[in-house]
Structure 1
Amino acid sequence: MNFDRINIDLKNSIENVPYSLEIDENLFLNSPEIIQQERKEFTKAHPFKKPDHIAVQDIFIPSSEDGYGIRLHVYQPEDFNHDKVLLYFHGGGYVFGLPEQVDNHMFEIADILKATIISVDYRLAPQYRFPIPVLDGFDALQWIIRHGVSELGINSDHITVFGASAGGHLAAAVTQMAADHHIKNIKHQFLLYPVIHNRLNTPSMEEFTDIPLWNKNYAKTAWLHFLGEENKDKSIQYSDLTSYHNFSGLPQTTIVACELDPLRDEDIEYAQLLYKAGVKTELWVIPGALHVFDLFDSPMKDEYNKFLMSRLFQ
């Protein structure tokens, strides 16, 4: 690929990061638990400073599947608006990551928008394969609906679901599942460069095999861990988001995709399915952007943050 296509400010920001951002492909494939532990230790060793006026707490809820205690990492500013409720899913290829890795971003959203954020520490693959991570998210949604008023003082009738990358996939899958259960509490889904399906055959997926930060090989390994060898090529509802029967029943949607991301074309495909179904949908494909561009300081990130703050609660 021609790396000159990357936005110059973003490229400079990435090059100035003092540590490697690449994933060891051999470890990712054969020893993902090592990467899980490394990411966990890194996040704990580099905490973000919490603003004094934002309360952070962990609430543990039982899984409806097996009773496992699902951790909800909750952010709530002192002057929160009870109508602004955000259910968030972090990224990490289904295999690694935890809510605290984006604490700074959640602090910013809570502060500026006066929102209560419930970030789901869903279980990770390959130890917990599909559908467990989706079911953890759906349990979180149901907890908010049933207990949000009494436990957090929030209006659980107006929920925005937000997720990034694999977390974007989980957010959208939970939204589909909610529609199938006739749950109308989700009013908006905001999907940041979401994973949509496991076909790995779009033009962007075929083109970006050597792109920094996320590429086709990473995506292939992530799906293997998430679905298992026996299912990695199957189209399964809530795993393949295009394998759905009632797009018209989904809420208003915002999708942000990146021009130089292997996930670009499946994001566009999902937006087209929503358009066709009559769902109010906004799609922004950011020129010169890479997957996880928003983790690096640049004018592009600033522009995206303004967009995000203006769209989350419409």
Structure 2
Amino acid sequence: MNRLLQAVLRLFAAPRVDMREDYEKVRRLQRQMAELPRPKYLALDEQIVSDDGSHPIPARVFQPKERRRDDVLLFFHGGGWVTGDIESYTPACATMADLTGCVVISVDYRLAPEHPFPAGLDDCYQVTRLLLDDPGRAGVNDADRIVLVGDSAGGNLAAVVSLLLKKNGHRGVTRQILLYPVTHWDHDPATSPFASVRTHGDDYRLTNLEVEDYFDLYVPDREQRRDWRVAPLMATDLSGQPKTLVVTAELDLLHDEGEAYGRALADAGNDASVYRVNGALHGFITLPRFARVLREGYEVINDFLDEGTRAGGVTDGGQITVVQAPEPEPS
């Protein structure tokens, strides 16, 4: 990304969006943008009833144009636990299905502030547990073919769901893909342990203030934000986790904490890999299919699904390798 483009992006990031006041407007805008143009896709909407029968959990099943893998990607969308839904993520999920050749199941979990923590997490956990117990509902005979995938806040939810499955003695997924996940609770540049919060926290796609807004709506109790179910990096036991791919974005304030989670998983003896996409902004998985960073991200994801090693990493603990692609040639 050249300096001129960086400067333009900073201009777009400058206006202050108060998510605590404007989250409903942002939701509407996201849905409108997802419809222009409407992607062609084959999907089926389903309703999964919560354990207590109090509410349905909508899910949308996306079929790829050409199915090349038996895996089913169980996807939790981003949006700071406050925005995003099945409709606004339909283009991204249709792209995910086509570029991986996998069926994608998108979960429409409950959002804050109407439903604060742990409502959305409970929905994701219930759907995951149900499909693991009855993989036929996901269209597979083997639960090992179910892969958890989440971006941003959805990456947070995927990581925590895996931790909850282990804690509750339930069988877990064998693989998870965490795209630029939220893993820590502190995004104040004055106190955060991560340099990327200070380097990229006031420009580009996502800012420190936006993250703070999201946390205010999702977990109003500040002390509760240190709970590992909110910040998985705070978990004291990370053993027994699925094989994990963490994909981070170079220009994202979350990239240090995402990579730290990959290292923590590796230190706990898990098979974990990290890949940082150069020049990428937070949320790049929602970009059009022709975007370089999107294509690069899916090359790494597909290699991981094929049990490849391109992402780099370790299987027996210790330091993890953060693999970066070479800088793109100037155009």
Q: TM-score range by the shorter chain?
A: 0.7 to 0.9
2:291 is equivalent to residue 303 of structure 1:
no
What's the offset of the Cα at 1:252? 0.7
Mapping for residues 132-151 of structure 1, pairs under 5 Å? 132-149=119-136
Code of the residue aligned with 2:196 in structure 1: it is: S
Structure 2 distance, partners of 1:156, 1:111, is 22
Gap regions ≥5 residues in structure 2:
308-331
Offset at residue 72 of structure 1 (A): 0.8
Does the 8 Å contact 1:85/1:156 carry over to 2?
A: no
- 1:208 and 2:200 aligned: yes
Alignment partner for residue 126 of structure 1, among 113, 135, 149?
Answer: 113
CA contact (8 A) 1:99 1:119 kept: yes
Q: Distance in 2 between matches of 1:109 and 1:310?
A: 14
Q: Aligned to 1:176, which of 163, 187, 193?
A: 163
In the TM superposition, what whole-angstrom CA distance separates every residue of 1:258-288 from its partner, at most 9, and x where no partner exists?
2221101111211121111111111112233
* Correspondent of 1:241 among 232, 243, 259: 232
* 1:262 aligned partner: 253
1:60-79 map, 5 Å: 60-64=47-51, 67-77=54-64
Contact 2:243–2:271 under 8 Å retained in 1: yes
Shift of 1:120: 0.5
Amino acid at match of 1:120: V
Does residue 28 (structure 1) correspond to residue 49 (structure 2)? The answer is no
Gap change, CA 1:68 and 1:241, over 3 Å in 2 = same
- Alpha-carbon distance between aligned partners in 2 of 1:96 and 1:244, rounded to the nearest angstrom: 26
Q: List gaps (5 residues or longer) in structure 1.
A: 1-6
Which of 34, 48, 55 does residue 43 from structure 1 map onto? 34
Q: Distance in 2 between matches of 1:10 and 1:144?
A: 47
Which segment drifts farther, 212-221 or 24-33? Answer: 24-33
Return the alpha-carbon distance in structure 1 between the equivalents of residues 83 and 217 of structure 2: 11
Which structure ranks higher in relative contact order (CA pairs < 8 Å, sequence separation ≥ 6)?
1
> What SS class does the counterpart of residue 107 from structure 1 fall into?
helix
Q: TM-score, normalised by structure 2?
A: 0.80
- Aligned equivalents of 2:138 and 2:261: distance in 1? 35
User: Pairwise mapping of residues 38-117 of structure 1 onto structure 2 (< 5 A)?
Assistant: 38-44=29-35, 46-50=37-41, 55-64=42-51, 67-77=54-64, 80=67, 83-117=70-104
Q: Does 1:193 align with 2:180?
A: yes
Deviation at 1:154, TM superposition (A): 4.5
In the alignment, which residue of structure 2 is the partner of 1:227?
219
Residue 317 of structure 2: aligned partner: none
Shift in alpha-carbon separation, 1:131–1:102, aligned structure 2, 3 A: same
Counterpart-to-counterpart distance in 1, 2:15 and 2:28: 14
Q: Take 2:106 and 2:306, find their aligned partners in 1: how far apart are those partners? A: 17
* In structure 2, distance between residues paired with 1:21 and 1:59: 37
TM-aligned CA deviation for residue 10 of structure 1: 11
Give the TM-score taking structure 1 as reference length. 0.84
Tell me which of 100, 117, 139 is aligned to 1:152.
Answer: 139
CA contact (8 A) 2:252 2:280 kept: yes
| Alpha-carbon distance, 1:67 to partner | 1.9
Matched residue type, 2:218: F
| Percent of paired sites with the same residue | 27
Q: Output the amino acid matched with 1:158.
A: R
CA distance in 2, matches of 1:186, 1:119: 16
Q: C-alpha root-mean-square deviation of aligned residues, in Å?
A: 2.8
